[in-house]
Chain A
Amino acid sequence: MRRDRAPGDSAAQEPAPDAVPAVDSRLLVREEGIRGYLGEFRRKLRSGELGSLPVVVAVIIIWTVFGSLDSTFLSAQNLSDLSQQIVGTGMIAVGIVFVLLLGEIDLSVGSVSGLCAAIFAVLNVLNGMNQWLALLVALVGGAAVGLIQGFFFAKVGVPAFVVTLAGNLAWNGLMLQVLGTSGTVNIPSESIVSKLYSTIFHSPAAAYVTAAVGVGLFLAASLLDARRRRTARVPYRPVAEIVLRTVVIAAIAFVTAYILNQYQGLPLALLIFLIVLVILDFVLRRTTYGRRIFAVGGNIEGARRAGISVPFVRMSVFSICGFMAAVGGIFLAGQIQSASQTSGGGNLLMNVIAAAVIGGTSLFGGRGSVWSALLGALVIGSIQSGMNIMGVSNAVQFMITGSVLLAAVVVDSLSRRSQKAAGRA
């Protein structure tokens, strides 16, 4: 969001002398440079617009703690493994982000992910169907499951959490049915699903080129946007600020690439995850469809009066969530190279919801971003990885993950409260 002044572009700021200025200069006009950033930062903190700040702090704390307890935690190998391990959870969490933006919840994603993995395994491994076709069927299956649940929510009017709670059980039952007597289907390591997870580009160039392309695209897009804004005489980001942001992003990208290269290189799963995030972020923030999702999450009646088809938005979002659950389920199956009766069970559901919320997407609808899925999955994954290294028991891990989710929800609720107090919710 741009709140900055356009320096050297007085026309955008000051209307013709005889007109009353539309922009009240007392408010929200940021000072330039570092001081402006700090001022805006303090204002946001006060009014409770925390965004991804708590989660970034959480990652730093978690990494510092585990890193000081056991040096293997921050090793290139462990961090590389982590970057692969978070993909399954992260993909499902992306779907949860979409649903949360509507102010709804989907409690069935764990079961749906297991079901779709089972569909692939049974079609491809047991029945010899072409693996690409089996993959397609599994993914379309996930989207269809989401659409069915969306229908009962949007058209029939059953509360989403009830529909998806019922779905959680029903789809789990269907998965057991699909697996049948076999119980567990092993997925061979040369299968596409295993390869999606385990492929690593060993050449160091892969990671660096990816980082360079990402940073380059960001810089180009920012500069082009600033130029269009300047010609249109609306506030734009000064070049210095764009450079600063690019430098920060470049630092993160190239350090990540360096660490990955210290071990085996860029994992394909991470690359796919990042591409999915970029695409869906674009859909949410730059397309009419994304705008409609935010509108429905903000004010259903307002969206309806603006001519938005609320049922369509709801059904499609649940379908996207089902699809992303299938994608995540495929990566999780590739990770353990099997689909079994426990697929999609355990604390997976808890983890994906926790990831979305911890990442900064609000439970109350209308606020959030797909990048929360990455950040949240990183927090959850780091905690689990660290505790595994330390040999902490499952019992304690569950309690800690539960507490982290509670903490995230508390932060969300408190920030909403102070936003209300500051008139921003």
Chain B
Amino acid sequence: MPEPAVLTLRGISKRFGAVQALKDFDLEVHAGEVVALVGDNGAGKSTAVKSIAGVNPPDEGVIEWEGRAVSINRPHDAQNLGIATVYQDLALCDNLDVVGNLFLGRELRRLGVLDEVRMEQRSRELLNTLSIRIPSVRIPVASLSGGQRQTVAIARSLIGDPKVVILDEPTAALGVEQTAEVLDLVERLREHGLGTILISHNMVDVMAVADRIAVMRLGRNNGFFDKRSTTTEEIISAITGATDSAVTRRQARKREEER
């Protein structure tokens, strides 16, 4: 990558009581790049995401934004920098329409009154540029399919013009057709120059859209893979720990030395 990373994590650690959820975790995200974050259940993927999103600030380590060290202590800090997060439970308001959900918490106003016209206009533009297919922007999101709801949630994260978007298991609950819709959208995020962190369990999805794959194991990095020069088997063995990467070898050695 010629340009510097938008978001860089260096040596992030996070401990919950007796659980070392993250240890010396590194990650880089560039503009126009999809980084898949994969790992077994409990590997620390969500914890990593929450430390970037300001939900659970890390205990140690450095977060750099466009080459400059920043501290992200609250969700607000992350949003202000330009980091948008779509959590696994989408947290959409079923009774509100698509426009209402897209602008929830940052409604456009005109003379103190909701500016429905401009919000609807911007919603349509946004959905159009992302080629998101929704029956109407004025129907309650309750009547949308799972995939459409996911795309609305992702579109909503883009309202504030973020530079990095984090998607936590966006396809976990979706069928084939709907998964395809969401993966299409992820590719469009890349086309629009956004950096995307995609958390997924599904190797097929990961190999379909990711540029780079960061494997986590037991709260640590267990290798970075370039999509073009790796295989699904290689990644799965890194996830399961069947083959230790150089990184884990080094870490294991350090631990030995510490004892």
Contacts and interface: CB of A to CB of B under 8 A. Distances in A.
A299 B94 contact: yes
Given A22-B124, A234-B121, A294 B114 contact: no
Given A298-B93, A302-B92, A27 B142 contact: no
Contacts of B249: none
Nearest to B148: A24
Given A298-B94, A422-B143, A288 B117 contact: no
Contacts of A24: 133-135
B17 interface: no
B95 A234 contact: no
B180 interface: no
Interface string B118-141: 101100100110011111101110
A305 B87 CA distance: 10
A422 B142 CA distance: 9
B132 A22 contact: yes
A20 interface: yes
B184 to A, nearest CB: 10
Contact of A308 (B75, B105, B124, B143): B105
A294 B106 CA distance: 15
B109 A288 contact: yes
Interface stretch (B2-10, B22-30, B96-104): B96-104
A424 B143 contact: yes
Interface in A273-301: 286-288, 291, 294-295, 297-299, 301
Contacts of B101: 302
A23 B134 contact: yes
Given A24-B134, A306-B104, A307-B105, A295 B127 contact: no
B112 A22 contact: no
A22 B128 contact: yes
Contacts of B135: 23-24, 26-28
Contacts of A422: 143
Contacts of A212: none
B136 A234 contact: no
Interface string A397-425: 00000000000000000000001001111
Interface stretch (A225-233, A248-256, A345-353): A225-233
Nearest to B134: A22
Contact of A423 (B87, B93, B104, B142): B142
Contacts of A235: 138
Question: DSSP class of A's interface residues: helix, strand, loop or mixed?
Answer: loop
B252 to A, nearest CB: 39
A286 B101 CA distance: 15
B18 interface: no
B114 A425 contact: no
A301 B120 CA distance: 24
Nearest to B99: A234
A35 interface: no
B93 A303 contact: yes
Nearest to B144: A423
Question: DSSP class of B's interface residues: helix, strand, loop or mixed?
Answer: loop
Given A294-B96, A367-B95, A3 B139 contact: yes
A333 to B, nearest CB: 35
A2 B106 CA distance: 22
B91 A299 contact: yes
B134 A366 contact: no
A287 B112 contact: yes
B19 interface: no
Contacts of A2: 138
A308 to B, nearest CB: 6
Contacts of B138: 1-3, 235
A301 B109 contact: no
A232 B117 contact: yes
Contacts of B90: 302
Nearest to B113: A286
A386 B60 CA distance: 74
A299 B176 CA distance: 27
Interface string B202-216: 000000000000000
| Most chain B Cβ neighbours within 10 Å, of A22, A234, A305 | A22
Contacts of A291: 96, 100, 104, 107, 114
B139 A301 contact: no
A20 B124 contact: no
A297 B109 CA distance: 22
B91 A305 contact: yes
B117 A234 contact: yes
A366 B95 contact: yes
Nearest to A26: B135
B86 to A, nearest CB: 10
B256 interface: no
Nearest to B100: A291
Interface string A212-245: 0000000000000100110011110000000000
A280 to B, nearest CB: 15
A221 B75 CA distance: 39
Interface of A: 1-3, 15, 19-24, 26-29, 225, 228-229, 232-235, 286-288, 291, 294-295, 297-299, 301-303, 305-308, 365-367, 419, 422-425
22 contacts: A2-B138, A3-B136, A19-B131, A22-B127, A22-B132, A24-B134, A24-B135, A27-B135, A28-B135, A28-B136, A28-B139, A229-B120, A291-B114, A294-B95, A295-B100, A298-B94, A298-B96, A299-B92, A302-B104, A365-B95, A366-B95, A425-B94
Question: Across chains A and B, which 6 residue pairs bring their CB atoms closest together, nearest first?
Answer: A306-B105, A298-B93, A366-B95, A27-B135, A302-B91, A298-B95
Interface of B: 75-76, 87, 89-97, 100-101, 104-107, 109, 112-114, 117-118, 120-121, 124, 127-128, 131-136, 138-140, 142-145
